[in-house]
Chain A
Amino acid sequence: MSTATNDAGGSRHRDPFVPQMYRVERVSRELADTVTLSLTPLAGQRPSFAPGQFNMLYAFGIGEVAISVSGDTAESAFVHTVRNVGAVSGAIEKLAPGSVIGLRGPFGTGWPVKEAEGSDVVVVAGGLGLAPLRPAIYAILANRALYGRVVILLGSRNPADILYRHQLEQWRQRLDVDIEVTVDHADRDWRGNVGVVPKLIPTATFDPHDAFGLICGPEVMMRFSVNALLNAGLPANRIYVSMERNMKCAIGLCGHCQFAGTFICKDGPVMRFDRIANIFVMREI
């Protein structure tokens, strides 16, 4: 197969169907079924990525899975947080440092990190949804002075399932970020909030007339959170969600990831809410 592509990304001379080989440098366990991998290419440097983009990670002989990048753009490795939900992700979850993994990407659209400069930013994450948002948080905190209020709201199932807990506690020690965490249920040892994450929105401090909302999590949680942000006064064209659909080729040729007329691999996964508002609440679209 010849190896031409007319894309403007870093993979100009590579066949976009063929994975590049990466080494697993580091594995850290986040939750009982979730790990974070740090990947470096066997040859050369990793392509640049925008916060919100994803890679297709390939487990040899088993298959590929779409995983958002969850690391810092400043870091030389590709960092991915992977949860075991199937054959491919299960195989990836068991990789040890030194293993080789295939990678294609990065693909898709990113969070409006640049567009949000000068405004408040409200990050609403549900469960593992914090992983695709983390690169945006890194980017915003790296240029903190360019933004207004920065609010991070996280919902989890229970306190044991809070992702990146140590890092959240570190961010909380900064005085220029508001962080609120809530869980669906807890025991007595938890002194934090209990309840769904949209409930944190009405009491968060931000200027709805000049703020961006970045939401990522299970689709139901995103729907409720979008409503809460709209009710708080944020306009629909300032709310961004990260959509998920069946991903196969990730390069716009196989048709699988279509969400009405959009391709999640090309027009997403990060999508501005006003552009999809009429299909967002539609069943089975």
Chain B
Amino acid sequence: MDAAPAQRVATISRDALQALLDALAENYDVIGPTVRDGAIVYDRITGLADLPAGWTDSQGPGRYRLERRHDDALFGFSVGPQAWKRFLHRPVETLWAMRKGENGVTIESDASAVPKFAFIGVRACELHAIAIQDRVLLEGPYLDTAYATRRQNAFIVAVNCGQAGETCFCVSMKTGPRAQSGFDLALTELLGNDGPRFLVEVGSEAGATILSRVPQRPATDEEIAEAAAIVARTEKQMGRRLETDGIKELLLDNLNHPRWDDVAERCLTCGNCTMVCPTCFCTTVEDHSDLSGMSAERVRKWDSCFTMDFSFIHGGSVRKTPRSRYRQWMTHKLATWIDQFGTSGCVGCGRCITWCPVGIDITVEAAAIRENPQPQGGGQNGHD
């Protein structure tokens, strides 16, 4: 998937969207949003019938409810608890298996085919999150080969948000609401009097090829304007913002700010935020063997910096207190990530706010420190 700027803009009907999904299903595992367990999650879909038509989500700090819309928009919601990372950067992955034999130790690599995914309904913030994980997992001195293959195989159909989620703040993070790049096709759902249609922007050769198999017509100027108006309306609906000016210096100069104690009294260190965050990438490895001791395998799993185990070295954990663990997560996400990978780690999707059981809001915490900075003095050079 190459990152060519949108070249063509077409309009397709709902039926044509079904045809698009069918065309993708020939070569891809098609993954899209669907209603399950009281939420909109990403899972395998076969057609439009699986999409959350007429559903929307009502979100707030520590709150998520599905509600019925008064129309039957297919993408009339924001983001659910899951991110696309559960397909690209899998929660559980067997790295290798080993077997002891007479001729020594042999390593068995996983011979099963790497799946090819087509993601339907990727939001602008999620496109940025995928790009951020690309930087982390593909641009270091060692690359994550399984991620690289799944990423290369992925076909992305983005969707421009028709409304802002109540916890969203992509505008201040400069990650949305409009999908700019990183997609093969980008849809904007038009719900006008002429019936439901989709404006389609082409983002790559692969996107153009798939689109050519689907009934379409060139988009009219009115439709293009309508799509732009939808995105502009979404932009104005943002209910919160995170001021990113100098955020790195602000947080790293305030590592002993009393606000960390304040949030520590609320934070349960449950790690929900790290599970739902689309950029959190930390993993752990577990080594297993069978009772005979003749075979062993290493499994990689998602991990969270909120656990006591995460920072364990002989003698104990480095980050024992909830204060230090919350501080680690937030300063990594907003500050040190910039030094490590060149961008912020946050895309403003709001998931951490929605799925925090006690409703901790990262934008509020950052603002509290910015409003009353208390940089620590002394001890800067280790001198006493």
Contacts and interface: CB of A to CB of B under 8 A. Distances in A.
Instruction: Please tell me whether chains A and B touch each other in their complex, using a CB distance cut-off of 8 A.
Output: yes
Interface of A: 1-8, 15-18, 21, 42, 58, 60-64, 85-86, 100, 102, 223, 226-227, 230, 236, 244-246, 248-249, 251-256, 258, 260-261, 263, 266, 273-274, 277-278, 280-285
Contacts of B142: 5-7, 16, 251-253
A13 to B, nearest CB: 12
A230 B313 CA distance: 28
Contacts, number: 153
B383 A230 contact: yes
Interface string B96-112: 10101000110101100
B379 A256 contact: no
A147 to B, nearest CB: 25
A253 B283 contact: yes
B298 interface: yes
A4 to B, nearest CB: 6
B382 A223 contact: yes
Given A17-B95, A17-B298, A263-B340, A248 B318 contact: no
Contact of A227 (B284, B323, B382): B382
Given A253-B144, A254-B285, A255-B282, 13 more contacts: A5-B142, A6-B141, A7-B142, A15-B145, A17-B300, A18-B96, A21-B105, A227-B384, A252-B142, A254-B300, A255-B303, A263-B340, A277-B382
A7 B143 CA distance: 8
A141 B314 CA distance: 32
Interface in B299-321: 300, 303, 305, 310-314, 318-321
29 contacts: A1-B95, A1-B110, A3-B145, A4-B143, A4-B145, A4-B148, A5-B145, A15-B96, A17-B96, A18-B96, A42-B104, A60-B105, A85-B314, A100-B104, A230-B383, A244-B313, A246-B310, A249-B283, A249-B285, A253-B144, A256-B284, A256-B303, A256-B311, A260-B336, A261-B332, A277-B380, A284-B320, A284-B321, A285-B255
A2 B313 contact: no
Interface string B372-384: 0000000111111
B210 interface: no
Contacts of B305: 255
Interface string B64-104: 00000000000000000000000000000001101010001
